[in-house]
C-alpha cells in the first residue's frame, strides 16, 4: 500500500514539515510514502512524477506544489485514473484540496497593526509564482485598504531567510519609511530580524515584524515572532485521510483549515 507525495523544495521548512506529517499519518493507516521532489512549478515535472507513480501502481497522490487554477485543473483532468489531492491551490480552484484559508490570518495581522497605530507598513511577500504568496499579498492589500492604508513598499522574496534579509536591507538603503513589516513566511521574517538588528533598528520598539507559518523555531527568534499559524500536521493528517477515503468517482469534501494569528513579542 503506497501513497505518492509530489512536493516543492524540502529545503523549506513548511514543505518538509508537511512531508513529515504525511509520512507519519500514512504509516498509521498502513501506507508507505514515495516522495518526488520537483524543482519548480513546472507542468512537465509534475506529470512526469505522476507517470512514475502510476508505473509503480500508486493511485493516491498528494501534490504540494503551488499551482494556479488552470494548471491544477489540467492536471486533475489528465489524471482521472488516480486520485490527486492538492495542498497549494486557490480556494475556488475546483480541484480536490486540503488548504489553509489565505484571508483570516492575513486580515488579523493588518487589523492588529492598525489598532496599534501603524500607518507605514512594508510588505515582503513570497515569490510571485506561488499562488499562496499571491493570495496572502492580495489579502494584506485588501485589509490595508479597508483601514485606508497603502503599503510603503512591496518587495517579493523567495521564502528563504536570505531573501527576507535582502528585502529589509533594500528598504533601509532606499530610506523607505516603515514602522511595521509583514513577511511572507517566518523564514523571511528571520532574515528581516537579522538585517534590522545589524542596522541597529530595534524590534519591536522601532519596527514591528509579523511572519507567517509559525514554524517550530519561530517562538525562539529574538524577539519571539508574532506570526500566523498553519497547523501543518493537521493539513498532512487531513490530506492522508481524504486521499485514502476517495474512491473511483467519489471524493470526500474539500477542507479549508484556519490560519490563526499568534501574538508574541515582535510587535508593539
Contacts to ligand IPT by CB under 6 A: 8, 12, 14-15, 64, 66, 87-88, 130, 132, 159, 185, 212-213, 230
Nearer to ligand IPT, 179 or 189 (CB): 189
The string of DSSP letters for 50-106 reads: HHHHHHTT--EEEEES---HHHHHHHHHHTTTSEEEESSS-TTS-S-BEEE-SSHHH
Least distance to ligand IPT, CB of residue 101, Å: 11
Query: Using CB atoms within 10 A of its CB, is residue 69 exposed (0-12), middle (13-18) or buried (19+)?
Result: middle
Separation of alpha carbons 257 and 268, rounded Å:
28
Report, in Å, the least distance between residue 95 CB and ligand IPT. 14
Element (H, E) at 210: strand 208-210
Q: Are 86 and 92 within 8 A, CB to CB? A: no
Crossing angle (nearest 10°) for helices 43-55 and 69-78: 30
Q: Please identify the residue of the shown chain whose CB is closest to the bound ligand IPT.
A: 185
Using the minimum distance from each CB to ligand IPT, give the nearer residue, 8 or 143.
8
b/e per residue, 224-262, with b = 16+ CB within 10 A? ebbbbbbbbebbbbbbbebbbebeeeebbebbeeebbbb
Q: For residues 10 and 74, which CB has a smaller minimum distance to ligand IPT in the complex? A: 10
| Cβ-based nearer residue to ligand IPT, 85 or 179 | 85
To the nearest whole angstrom, how small is the minimum distance from the Cβ of residue 197 to ligand IPT? Answer: 22
Q: At closest approach, how far in Å is the CB of 136 from ligand IPT? A: 8
C-alpha cell, 179: 514602522
159 or 221, CB closer to ligand IPT? 159
Among 233, 231, 218, which Cα is nearest to 263's?
Answer: 218
Considering the complex, state which of residue 169 and residue 218 has its C-beta at the smaller distance from ligand IPT. Answer: 218
Compute the least distance from the CB of residue 250 to ligand IPT, in Å. Answer: 25
Q: How far apart are CB 92 and ligand IPT at their closest, in Å?
A: 15
Amino acid at each position: 500500500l503506497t501513497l505518492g507525495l509530489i512536493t516543492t523544495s524540502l529545503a523549506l521548512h513548511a514543505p518538509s514539515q508537511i512531508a513529515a506529517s504525511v509520512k507519519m499519518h500514512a504509516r498509521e493507516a498502513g501506507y508507505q510514502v514515495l516522495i518526488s521532489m520537483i524543482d519548480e512549478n513546472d507542468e512537465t515535472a509534475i506529470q512526469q512524477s505522476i507517470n512514475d507513480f502510476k508505473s509503480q501502481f500508486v493511485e493516491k497522490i498528494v501534490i504540494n506544489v503551488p499551482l494556479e487554477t488552470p494548471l491544477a485543473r489540467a492536471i486533475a483532468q489528465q489524471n482521472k485514473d488516480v486520485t490527486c489531492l492538492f495542498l497549494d491551490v486557490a480556494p475556488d480552484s475546483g480541484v480536490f484540496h486540503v488548504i489553509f484559508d489565505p484571508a483570516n490570518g492575513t486580515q488579523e495581522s493588518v487589523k492588529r497593526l492598525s489598532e496599534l497605530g501603524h500607518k507605514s507598513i512594508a510588505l515582503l511577500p513570497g515569490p510571485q509564482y506561488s499562488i499562496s504568496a499571491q493570495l496572502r499579498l492580495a489579502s494584506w492589500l485588501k485589509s490595508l485598504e479597508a483601514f485606508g492604508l497603502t503599503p510603503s513598499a512591496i518587495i517579493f522574496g523567495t521564502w528563504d531567510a536570505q531573501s527576507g534579509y535582502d528585502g529589509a536591507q533594500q528598504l533601509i538603503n532606499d530610506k523607505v519609511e516603515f514602522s511595521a513589516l509583514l513577511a511572507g513566511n517566518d523564514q523571511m521574517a528571520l532574515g528581516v530580524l537579522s538585517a534590522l538588528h545589524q542596522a541597529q533598528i530595534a524590534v519591536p520598539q522601532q519596527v514591528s515584524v509579523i511572519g507567517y507559518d509559525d514554524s517550530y523555531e519561530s517562538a525562539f527568534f529574538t524577539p519571539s515572532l508574532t506570526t500566523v499559524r498553519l497547523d501543518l500536521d493537521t493539513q498532512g493528517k487531513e490530506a492522508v485521510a481524504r486521499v485514502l477515503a476517495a474512491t473511483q468517482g467519489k471524493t470526500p469534501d474539500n477542507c479549508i483549515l484556519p490560519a490563526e494569528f499568534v501574538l508574541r513579542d515582535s510587535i508593539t
